[in-house]
A and B are shown apart, each in its own frame.
Chain A
Amino acid sequence: MGRAVAVIGTGQTRHGMRSEVTYPDLIREAVLAAFQDAGITPDDIDGVVSGTMPSMMEGVALTHFYFADALRSVGKPILKTETCGSTGVSLAITGYYWVASGLADVVLVVGSEKMHEGDSQATMTTVAEPLYQRFFISGAPGAFGMQSKLWLQRYNVPEDKARDAAAKVSVDHHKSGLLNPYAHIRKEYSMEDVKNAPVIVYPVRLLDVCPNSDGACAVIMACEEKAKKICSKPAWIKGVGYAGEEYWIGDSDKVVWESAVKSASEAYKMAGISNPRQELDVAEIYNPFTFQELLYYECFGFCDFGTACDYTLKGTFARGGELPCDPSGGVLCTNPIGATGLIRCAEAALQVSGKAGERQIEGAELALAHAMGGIIQFNGVMILGSKL
């Protein structure tokens, strides 16, 4: 069943508004950091995996040409994986398969986005085709807002309770962001701040929503033999899962969200996880919207459907809780889209190798990383662990 693959180094940029540097320079910042972390040189790399959000967001088409030098990919094979918002995890999964197949021993995986250079909502509108859906999807918040309404209705969750739980997610994550030197938003908010923030797309308020960030993330993966040689604490890839649904938003169940449930169960099966809340030590979830985070707790089997608000309000998923989620501050604090999913993998790797600094969850050995994309259509999950 393929070769074992580990993350042996990660690098992130300082995320935020980075208009002082060009896009290739931003990428180089992450790549240099990853090489330094892994303690290897570009000569040790057999191939490069690169990806961003749609090229329309970047204003440069087929960006791997432009980024070729910054990616250190000259003279090397490259794969250009893109799956919208879930690109980051898809990149990591590509790196995994490349090494697992035996066709490369060490690969560099890089995801990036310079969101301040483009217009994210205008770009996302073009994800919807111009014949039908484009007229109704009011950017990302519109689609996610509808999903949260479907969920509340399905399980008769009182709106006030959901509002409180979503606000707690925002408060907790922003608090965690203060511990993360790479985070874009590093500011504390109260429950009241979140609940009184301006409405973006009712019921979604400003502090329920992720920021637009510039940032890049680089991850170096290696086969078992090389990983053991190069790295004292490799983060082993224990499981991968990915699934997507129909393009048409109305066609599939977005509450018992098939792609989310399937991608997690696929990864759990591969990793041998049967009770995720007990077995996982930490999770990095792609939650551009607070309500969606709650939905993920249920779809990933952290709790039963309809119960995420109760657990959240109890603190189960907060730092210090039974299964801390997004100790990095998560996507609510940092969202350079094409990098975001890969940051989740990098953060999970840091946690299981004990290298997460102030945001370290003590003794973390098994972590989940996740990304979501499309018109609430794709989910990808990777499980990383400290033990082979």
Chain B
Amino acid sequence: MLSKVAVVEAAMMPGPESAENYLTQVYRICREVLDKAGITKDEVGTVVSASSDVFHGGISCANAYYWDAGAAFLKNASRQDGESLLALFYGIMRILSGRYETALVLGLCKGTENPDNDLITHFYTDPFYQRQLGLNETFAAGLQMRMYMDRYGITEEQCAKVVVKNLGNALRNPYAHVKKKVTVEEVLNSKPVLEPLKEMECAPKSEGFVALLLASEEKSKKLTDKPVWIKGFGSSMDTFYLGDRNLLNGHLNKAAKQAYDRAGITDPRREIDLVELTEPYAFQELLWTEELGFCDRGEGGKLIDSGITQWSGGLPVNPSGGVLATNPYVSRGLYRAAEVVLQIRGQAGERQVDKKVKTGLAHGTHGFAGQFHAVAILGS
């Protein structure tokens, strides 16, 4: 990176349904992060939020609705539609431009107000081909899972282990939506959805309001003694039609490469201490760990078998419970970043991993079978 940008504070809200209304929740999460940092709304340089018009309670132009609730009254602010890590990236850009010392980055999604996620993801399709065949995110993920198992001999048990691990990790996370001790058998015996995908292997629909306060290197010194630095980030888009894509060698490695290059990481397995990734479908955690370079191609199953990705393992993956536990569709990527920030600062409470976390990776993905990936590397 050219110069340094820090995350100086992070705040998040719990994933279960909330009886509070959207705007009040947006206001509260902003207040929480600003109060923690000890600054007022007026001292914030710029605000970049992430939201989506279709995951937004039936109100278009989402940013219009929450502009003032999101601490942006009369500010030069902006908004990203979709992947919330993009709001983080844009916030970083605004600070690096030298025009702002601080940026408030928000990820906003109230799942309670929306229909099933897949009703909405169906509208990612083009109106002429994939829509006529009923494609949605789960449909695409099922096709990807079958290929993954076929190609590399990944087993359903290995995929189910991701659920066992992540929902188990969620028991330590007060913000998690679904948390329980489950067995591989229970996962395998859960209702088939789009086979090979089973109900427990698919993420729920959650609430998610998350806020990060970013600051320039100089400003961060005044705001915190525990800055978490943005070491690198990257993102990459794949081609649109599902049938044109290599679903087992997508664009996550390209996104990761940009991030690693910027962060100077050459051996991710050794240099990264903790991973929070977006796995709306259990098997994707295994596939993504391969694409991120934590193991060789086709070795994602062995990686979970080895126990290394467990909460207490050498490379904890989703110690928060991940997206399988909490899936605020739009803001799930930024939740990953917030979790990494808390782990690096040693502020993750009961879910704090039992090892020193110097460098962590946050990952977000949107689109069918990972059409788009975003990766951020954060470090102490």
Q: Per the CB under 8 Å rule, do A and B touch in the complex? A: yes
Known: A127-B59, A374-B64. A62 touches B81 (CB 8 A): yes
CB-CB < 8 A to B313: which residues of A?
A: none
Q: Which residues of A contact B89 (CB under 8 A)?
A: 77, 79
B371 at the interface (CB under 8 A from A): yes
Min distance, Cβ A115 to any Cβ of chain B, angstroms: 14
Interface stretch, picked from B123-131, B274-282, B302-310, is B123-131
Any B CB within 8 A of the CB of A377: yes
A66 B97 Cβ-Cβ under 8 A: no
Could you give, for residues 34-59 of chain A, a 1 whenever the CB lies within 8 Å of some chain B CB and a 0 otherwise? 00000000000000100101111101
A244–B71 Cα distance when bound, in Å, is 11
B66, closest chain A residue (CB): A247
Q: Which residue of B lies closest to A82 (CB)?
A: B81
Minimum distance in angstroms from B148 CB to a CB of chain A: 21
- Taking the closest CB of chain B, its distance from the CB of A64, in whole angstroms, is 7
Number of chain A residues close to chain B: CB under 8 A: 67
Q: How many residues of B contact A (CB 8 A)?
A: 63
Q: How far is the CA of A102 from the CA of B93 in the complex (A)?
A: 8
Q: Which of A9-17, A90-98, A278-286 contacts B (4 or more CB under 8 A)?
A: A90-98
Q: Which residues of B contact A262 (CB under 8 A)?
A: 74
Q: Considering only CB atoms, which chain A residue lies closest to B234 in the complex?
A: A77
Q: Which residues from chain B contact A61 at a C-beta distance below 8 Å?
A: 52-54, 120-121, 123-124
- Give Cα distance in the complex from A53 to B64, angstroms: 12
Q: Say whether A84 contacts B61, CB under 8 Å.
A: yes
Asked if A215 lies at the interface with its beta carbon under 8 angstroms from chain B, I say no
Please name all residues of chain A whose beta carbon is closer than 8 Å to the beta carbon of B205 when the two chains form the complex. none
Cβ of B78 and Cβ of A129 under 8 Å apart? no
| Contact between chains at A102 and B60 (CB < 8 Å) | no
Contact residues in A for B62 (Cβ distance below 8 Å): 54
In the complex, the answer to whether B81 meets A69 with C-beta atoms within 8 Å is no
Q: How far is the CA of A2 from the CA of B3 in the complex (A)?
A: 12
Cβ of B153: which chain A residues have Cβ within 8 Å of it? none
B24-55 contacts to A (CB < 8 Å)? 52-54
Q: Given the known A-B contacts A62-B366, A374-B64, are A83 and B97 also in contact in the complex, defined by CB atoms under 8 Å? A: no
Q: Are A90 and B78 in contact (CB under 8 A)?
A: yes
A225 interface residue per 8 A CB criterion? no
**Residue among B54, B81, B120, B128 making CB contact with A80, cutoff 8 Å:** B81
Q: How far is the CB of B296 from chain A (nearest CB, A)?
A: 23
Contact residue among A55, A69, A81 (Cβ-Cβ distance under 8 Å from B79): A81
Which residues of B approach A to under 8 Å, CB–CB? Answer: 2, 52-54, 58-69, 72-83, 86, 89-90, 92-99, 120-121, 123-128, 234-240, 251, 254-255, 258, 366-368, 371-372
Given A64-B81, A82-B80, A103-B93, 18 more A-B residue pairs with CB atoms under 8 Å apart are A1-B99, A56-B53, A56-B60, A61-B53, A61-B120, A68-B240, A75-B236, A78-B86, A83-B61, A90-B79, A103-B96, A126-B59, A129-B59, A243-B76, A244-B74, A245-B68, A374-B63, A377-B64
